[in-house]
Structure 1
Amino acid sequence: MNNMLFDYDDNDIKSIYSYAKKLESRTFRDIKKEFDDSGLTYYLNPRDSKPVHIVKESKTGYTSNSKAKGQLGGFLERYYFGYQPNSHQGADFEKVGIELKQTCIDLTKKGEYRAGERLSITNISYKEPVVEDFYASHVWEKIKKILLVHYLRDKSKDRMDYQIKFVNLFTPPQKDLDIIIQDYKKINDKIKQGKAHELSESDTLYLGACTKGSTAIKSMQPQYYGEHILAKKRNFCFKQSYMNYVLKNYILTNNVPYESIIHDASSLGKMTFEEYIIHRIEKYVGKTDKELCEMFEREYNNNEAQWSHLAYLMLGIKGNHAEEFEKAGIVVKAIRIEKNNTIKENMSIPPFKFKELVQETWENSTLFNYFDTTRFLFVIYKSDGDCYKLIGSQLWNMPYNDLNKVVKAGWENIKQSLLNGVRFTLKQINNGVRVENSLPKKKDNPILHIRPHAQKSAYLLKDGTQIGDLSNANELPDGQWMTTQSFWINNTYLYTQLNVLKKSR
């Protein structure tokens, strides 16, 4: 029998942490084997003389249900720490106030670690009034002292063979807590307005309100406030962008050099972080891009990156990585309004793969997740002679109904067109061949459309005809290849979302 299993004092933080650190470099299967060989049971008093309990993989669900992310955490609770998983709102190690949380990390093609998911914290209750005081809330109870276990996810392996990489005690630092508290208030304010059904992760910066998995549509509950409209069950969570920052800057040693917008919490005064950002940029309203480049001693090169970089410079950031933006998943986008009061460019978002899109449902789709978790800082310029003049800025996330009705309908239309099979028509033009396709066009949806992401086109058609370099394409469900596409937000829709224009009307 291995007498080292469960060998810790649950009254002592150092003892718990020292025992937990022994998880590093071990797989879940290693833990299973140690438990199987130990003769111990997993109940609260592990040394009681109870029957031997062997982990039955076929019965636990730890490997069979890949969507049940929390089950690996439950596995550690039972078979390494020796207590029953629970759903109560207190900390897991109640005597010392430590909460056990496990989360996955992924290894990128560049050999870098990235957070694989958001970190669920605790349920959002619709059955009772919200707790106004953050420090009296279940959220604070769960995050004030986290025993954070990172394991490496490798989808080519059995989940039991995932390796635990890092174990750390983590408490969000005060500069993060200041913004987390603002997020908590913003979520609660929406709930108190009877608008829990409109909650979105993109409403907030670090602390989000996430849906509870793929069954969210089936898990509707009446709200305590307002007209008791049914709302999806949600959890408080740390957003994936924040968890990625935690991993890179608080867990790993090879820190990415991010600059901070807020150097001292007192600089916020009574302003929220969002108000502070807008206030900083507002100081420069009326300046042209040329004047701003001169002020910040930046070359005026008139390329796409210039206008976004000016936003960072106005916020006191020399490069293009702001600490708070990385944590919050905020994307900076420069918008230029032309003399005829139109926006010339549509706004691109990351490319997608056809065969992956058709396997998705709306709520687990890459597109939904992107808009549901991403906030944008729009920095808005207007044509002024041969320059563009700064006229304002705003933090924006896509409105709930726009995303879940209009964008959803457009996405479903595109998905169905891909499943039906894309038809191609080749037309001769002066300098070669133009390939037209049957996919929905910009006119078919008022908010978004798809068009090529790559500058060079490439196709492989059913009859074997190949056009261009297929590295600029990806495969369709029917085996043909087509130029890689991105979703684009329509410029006409963007124009309607700009607050600075609404104020001037």
Structure 2
Amino acid sequence: MEINYDEKDPISIKEYGEKLIGSTFADVIREAETSYELKQETIGKVNRPGYKGGVGHLIEKFHFGYELNSNQEADFPEAGVELKVTPYEIGKKGGYSAGERLVISMISYEKAVEENLYSSHLYNKLNLSLLIHYLRDRSIPRTAYPIDYVTLFSPPEEDMKIIEQDYEKIISKVKDGKAHELSEGDTMYLGACTKGSNAEKSTVPQKYYAVESKARKRAFCFKQSYMTYVLNKYVLKKVDTYESILKDTQDLKEQSFENLIIDKINAHRGKTDEQLKKELGLNSRSKSFWSALAYRMLGVRSNSAKEFVKANIEVKAIRIEENGSMKESISFPSISFKEFEYQEWEESDFYNDLSSKRYLFVVFKKNGDKYVLKGAQLWNINNEDLEAARDGWLKIQDIVRRGVHLEKKPSKNGKTFTVENNFPEKSDNPVIHIRPHASKRYYELGDGEIIGNDRKCGDELPDGRMMTKQSFWLNNNYILEQLDAELKE
């Protein structure tokens, strides 16, 4: 293919990129002006199971005609355009989501921190991006992935205000010598994601702290949740029906978005659930009643908010009993045992969700027959507890790999029975446990016996048996420990 575009013109670059639509990565390689041997070698290398390179490199080299580099300027500096080749996926129940976070630029712990986002090298790389989306289907070779969309994207002003606050939070930790405390869940849209195969191999010294202190390598990224919003809003151009908490960007001049939402909730402190129900116009106590109260306090009438969708923030009503206990643990989506068996921790669905998710805890404490609002807190897991969760995850994965032990046992009354497994107990890990996700049980045991009537409530184990769908849960006593003291009084 003849390489013919104006490197100074974003529209020309986009139009040249649009020639990729309908092609696979194999097509891109085959059409390049290079030797047949190199083409075949490249296709073979990319399709190997252990391939770690990005398919984006193929677009850079074989379509746009430039070699991979680590320059701090944009890929097309004269046009101010950064090239990003990124996957999207179609869910089992329909719907489109970003396949991963979008890595933008490494965070330096050695060079002087760039105080102003708008004059930083990071801004050069996020201000205008050429997004090339391909459909990822893990059942076919990588080079067979189709390229479907090519879009020029700049974050809108309302997002840039929050991205700027995210940037300031990240660089403040770096300047304070606390890069080892950075977490992708600290921020809203712009995250600090880990880079490197594991913690031991990817730690480096911090310039701003004691000599012996090291921190994980990290990069600025747009969170996966933010990229899912961008995909649906700006690429697929679906109608945006989400309500916004932020009514005017001027509201962020004097305070952060995070403080704004906490203040909105805390303005109602001391009110009972019945008072809030009347004041906020809720008519029934449905399953979503408690989260609906929180959204109404935030000025949102539906049970979702645009900013929370972008930032992967989940509203969670916490109800504390009069004796100070908390009954409910917090669940994550059910796992697929066959996928879970082969996942690496930092590439797993659970890690991606747990490390980047934030919770808005809206805390109520029981007083007689009512619950009183104590206030709100934004929370995300810290790195130490994330490591504890990793230990629990690995132990469970090892059991799945070796074969889950399922044993049918009669109950104490002798009239019914249970199916026990050898997964760890909740008390075995301070942060997480695993237990059923489905409301009904379903098992297909090794002897051919089937327990339960609804196969949709089960998931296939690697050895072909089936057991009731399982989820990871954050322990209720762990969540209780994370709450600010004043919220538990």
TM-score by length of 1: 0.90
Does the CA-based 8 Å contact 1:214-1:364 persist in structure 2? no
Q: How do 1:81-480 and structure 2 match up within 5 A?
A: 81-214=64-197, 217-228=200-211, 229-301=213-285, 303-404=286-387, 406-421=388-403, 422-430=405-413, 431-469=415-453, 470-480=455-465
Distance 1:399 1:111 in 2: 33
Relative distance call for 1:198 and 1:494 in structure 2 (3 A) is same
Tell which deviates more after alignment, 130-139 or 458-467.
458-467
Deviation by residue 1:311-363 (Cα, 9 ceiling, x = unmatched): 11111111112111011111111110111111121222221133332322332
Deviation at 1:216, TM superposition (A): 5.5
Does the CA-based 8 Å contact 1:35-1:54 persist in structure 2? no
Tell which deviates more after alignment, 220-229 or 412-421.
412-421
Distance 2:424 2:322 in 1: 30
Deviation at 1:468, TM superposition (A): 0.8
Tell which deviates more after alignment, 465-474 or 69-78.
69-78
- Which residue in the other structure is 2:466 paired with? 481
Equivalent residue letter for 1:326: V
Does the CA-based 8 Å contact 1:190-1:199 persist in structure 2? yes
Distance 2:470 2:22 in 1: 40
Does the CA-based 8 Å contact 1:12-1:96 persist in structure 2? yes
Distance 1:113 1:213 in 2: 28
Does the CA-based 8 Å contact 2:47-2:143 persist in structure 1? no
Does the CA-based 8 Å contact 2:25-2:146 persist in structure 1? yes
Tell which deviates more after alignment, 285-294 or 358-367.
358-367
- Which residue in the other structure is 1:16 paired with? 13
Deviation by residue 1:276-308 (Cα, 9 ceiling, x = unmatched): 01001111111112211211211132x441101
Tell which deviates more after alignment, 204-213 or 226-235.
226-235
Deviation by residue 1:429-479 (Cα, 9 ceiling, x = unmatched): 544212222221112122221211111112222222221133212223444
Equivalent residue letter for 1:269: K
Equivalent residue letter for 1:438: N
Does the CA-based 8 Å contact 1:258-1:321 persist in structure 2? yes
Question: In structure 1, the residue corresponding to 2:363 is in which secondary structure?
Answer: strand
Gaps in structure 1 of 5+ consecutive residues: 42-51
Relative distance call for 1:487 and 1:102 in structure 2 (3 A) is same
Deviation at 1:21, TM superposition (A): 2.3
Question: In structure 2, the residue corresponding to 1:245 is in which secondary structure?
Answer: helix
Equivalent residue letter for 1:486: S
Deviation at 1:26, TM superposition (A): 2.4
Distance 2:15 2:336 in 1: 44
Q: CA RMSD in A?
A: 2.2
Q: How do 1:38-53 and structure 2 match up within 5 A?
A: none
Deviation at 1:207, TM superposition (A): 0.6
Question: In structure 2, the residue corresponding to 1:22 is in which secondary structure?
Answer: helix
Does the CA-based 8 Å contact 1:424-1:438 persist in structure 2? no
Tell which deviates more after alignment, 232-241 or 194-203.
194-203
Relative distance call for 1:352 and 1:455 in structure 2 (3 A) is same
TM-score by length of 2: 0.93
Deviation by residue 1:141-190 (Cα, 9 ceiling, x = unmatched): 10111111111112222222222211111111111111111111111112
Relative distance call for 1:152 and 1:429 in structure 2 (3 A) is same
Relative distance call for 1:409 and 1:17 in structure 2 (3 A) is closer
Distance 1:66 1:170 in 2: 32
Does the CA-based 8 Å contact 2:29-2:39 persist in structure 1? no
Distance 2:313 2:56 in 1: 29
Relative distance call for 1:269 and 1:133 in structure 2 (3 A) is closer
Distance 2:420 2:488 in 1: 41
Relative distance call for 1:215 and 1:68 in structure 2 (3 A) is farther
Does the CA-based 8 Å contact 2:337-2:400 persist in structure 1? yes
Question: In structure 1, the residue corresponding to 2:47 is in which secondary structure?
Answer: coil
Distance 1:67 1:371 in 2: 25
Does the CA-based 8 Å contact 1:32-1:55 persist in structure 2? no
